[in-house]
Amino acid sequence: MDNSAPAVFISHGSPMVAIEHDGYTEALAGLGRAFPAARAVLVISAHWQTERPVRVTAWERAPLVYDFGGFPEELYRLTYPAVGDPALAADVAGMLGEAGVAAVLEPRRGLDHGAWIPLRLAWPAAAIPVLEVTLPAPATPVELFGLGRALLPLRRRGIIVLGSGGIVHNLRRVRFHDRNAPVDAWAAEFDAWVAARLAAGDFDALLAYRQAGPHADLAVPSTEHFDPLFCVLGAAYEGEGTADIFAGFQYGNLSMRSFRFAAP
């Protein structure tokens, strides 16, 4: 098995993580140190959903999208001058098409905060080429798993497949006034259920999370942050285990659980 590049799921949390320093930001820095020389990073973010066909960024330099409001001015001054790879983007679009996933190139749209903030924490030098692929919507978990499966061959070429979203993400329940608020029981239970299913390799249960997961309607009131998980599951090798990057909560119920697939 050639798995020189991992498949990774990052819970990206609040944009404030970009200017904070804690165990989570250290964990993402550790991810970058573990994989400092990837051929490229391909990101599927909760914050870029489109109807089909899916889009693949094809710029030379990554423009940034500051797609958040009401935060400190410092956040809007941050930069991340990542390079793109138009030739690789065309290759990825063609590969997706051959797998039955219609794809087109997108030369203008920049990296959203679900992409550039975790990338900036993990690979601050911005030396690794970045591509972003849209999260198709609407799409079922099985369809998203299929998208991830179509991206799996990229890992053999040293390209990291990275999904960015959140295991528990219910902004109506988040207590933004208290970053260290006690964790709500319903959020902890769903997060632990996902972790256990990942450890067991029980993808079928995760694909059926709406019926199988405890408090799924509270933990995942809308699907966009959970959906990148299915792309990452699809990009896993058969029998490949997971390795935790970080586990914990912020603001009472915002799960920061992040992990990667690692060879057994």
pLDDT at 1: 45
pLDDT at 263 over 70: no
pLDDT at 138: 95
In sequence order, which residues have a C-beta less than 8 Å from that of residue 94 and are 6 or more positions away? 103
Reported as a single tens digit per residue, the pLDDT across 132-168 is 999 999 999 999 999 999 999 999 999 999 999 999 9
Reported as a single tens digit per residue, the pLDDT across 155-204 is 999 999 999 999 999 999 999 999 999 999 999 999 999 999 999 999 99
> What is the DSSP code (8-state) at residue 154?
G
Domains of the chain and any CATH numbers: 7-262 (3.40.830.10)
The mean predicted confidence, pLDDT, of the chain is: 96
Percentage of the chain beyond pLDDT 70 is 98
The amino acid at 102: A
Distance of CA 168 to the CA centre of its chain: 13
Say how many residues make up the chain: 264
pLDDT at 3 over 90: no
> What is the DSSP code (8-state) at residue 221?
S
Q: What is the rounded radius of gyration, in angstroms, for the C-alpha atoms of the chain? A: 17
Per-residue b or e along 91-103, where b marks 16 or more CB atoms closer than 10 Å to that residue's CB: ebbebbeeeebeb
> What is the DSSP code (8-state) at residue 111?
B
pLDDT at 208: 98
For residue 66, CA distances in Å to 24, 37, 63, 145, 249 come to 21, 27, 10, 28, 24
